[in-house]
Chains A and B, each alone.
Chain A
Amino acid sequence: DAKTTQPPSMDCAEGRAANLPCNHSTISGNEYVYWYRQIHSQGPQYIIHGLKNNETNEMASLIITEDRKSSTLILPHATLRDTAVYYCTRYSGGSNYKLTFGKGTLLTVNP
């Protein structure tokens, strides 16, 4: 009963956009989608989050489908330093502040 589903690995050429998909078909109306990444077993790093609307910050863009059952994290110009495991998670707020991290997607950016 995975809360989110991601491909185990993806490759991307340096300088190209990396599009990482995430399926969260059972997401409820008040749950946010969060993305983190973990570079070579360092502590995970927050990237971006969203509820319904698409979001953009200095690191990435997040596209959420209208039915909210899936989302895509976009790194517009991937660099070698973006090679990492990317985690898509869900959070509903309220009194339960726990996040559940799945296996994530290992993104390898190739020169």
Chain B
Amino acid sequence: EADIYQTPRYLVIGTGKKITLECSQTMGHDKMYWYQQDPGMELHLIHYSYGVNSTEKGDLSSESTVSRIRTEHFPLTLESARPSHTSQYLCASSGDRVRETQYFGPGTRLLVL
């Protein structure tokens, strides 16, 4: 069973605020991912990391930024939240060099007013 955590689970915030969504995993996985998903829609990869100090933008352009200073931690930051950022953000990790079994956290539901 995978151990990957996201906080907060729900966040309601005003426009212009800076927010950081936390994601941590205790499995020692080297690869981590952030996905964005609107209700009823598909998941879109917005950021990924293959290891410490490695970050890449995903397939969907996002105004958010990420950092990977420690293996277990992959936070996502929005410098100035806008209503268009309202969505669910899902973090995942994987560690198998052959297969790509990604383990997902419970997600953060963000509402920007």
- The answer to whether B43 and A34 touch across the interface, beta carbons within 8 angstroms, is no
Q: Mark A24-55, 1 if CB is under 8 A from B, else 0.
A: 00000000101010000111111001000000
Contacts of B103 in A (CB 8 A): 46
Contacts of B101 in A (CB 8 A): 34, 46, 49
Least distance between B22 CB and chain A CB atoms (Å):
15
Contacts of B107 in A (CB 8 A): 41-43
How far apart sit A36 and B41, CA to CA, in the bound complex (Å)? 15
A103's closest neighbor in chain B, by CB?
B42
B109's closest neighbor in chain A, by CB?
A41
How far apart sit A49 and B50, CA to CA, in the bound complex (Å)? 22
A17 at the A/B interface (Cβ < 8 Å)? Answer: no
> Size band of the A side of the interface?
20 to 34
Contacts of A46 in B (CB 8 A): 101-103
> Size band of the B side of the interface?
20 to 34
A99 at the A/B interface (Cβ < 8 Å)? Answer: yes
Known: A97-B31, A97-B50, A102-B42. A43 touches B104 (CB 8 A): yes
- The answer to whether B59 and A100 touch across the interface, beta carbons within 8 angstroms, is yes
How far apart sit A32 and B90, CA to CA, in the bound complex (Å)? 23
- The answer to whether A43 and B100 touch across the interface, beta carbons within 8 angstroms, is no
B100's closest neighbor in chain A, by CB?
A91
How far apart sit A49 and B88, CA to CA, in the bound complex (Å)? 26
- The answer to whether A44 and B43 touch across the interface, beta carbons within 8 angstroms, is yes
Quick one: which of A43, A93, A99, A100 contacts B98, CB cutoff 8 A? Answer: A93
A81 at the A/B interface (Cβ < 8 Å)? Answer: no
Interface centre among A42, A43, A45 (most CB of B within 10 A): A43
Contacts of B42 in A (CB 8 A): 101-104
Least distance between B90 CB and chain A CB atoms (Å):
5
Quick one: which of A36, A43, A97, A103 contacts B105, CB cutoff 8 A? Answer: A43
For window 40-59 of B, CB contacts with A under 8 Å fall at 41-43, 45, 48, 50, 58-59
Residue positions of A touching B, CB distance < 8 A:
32, 34, 36, 41-46, 49, 91, 93, 97-104
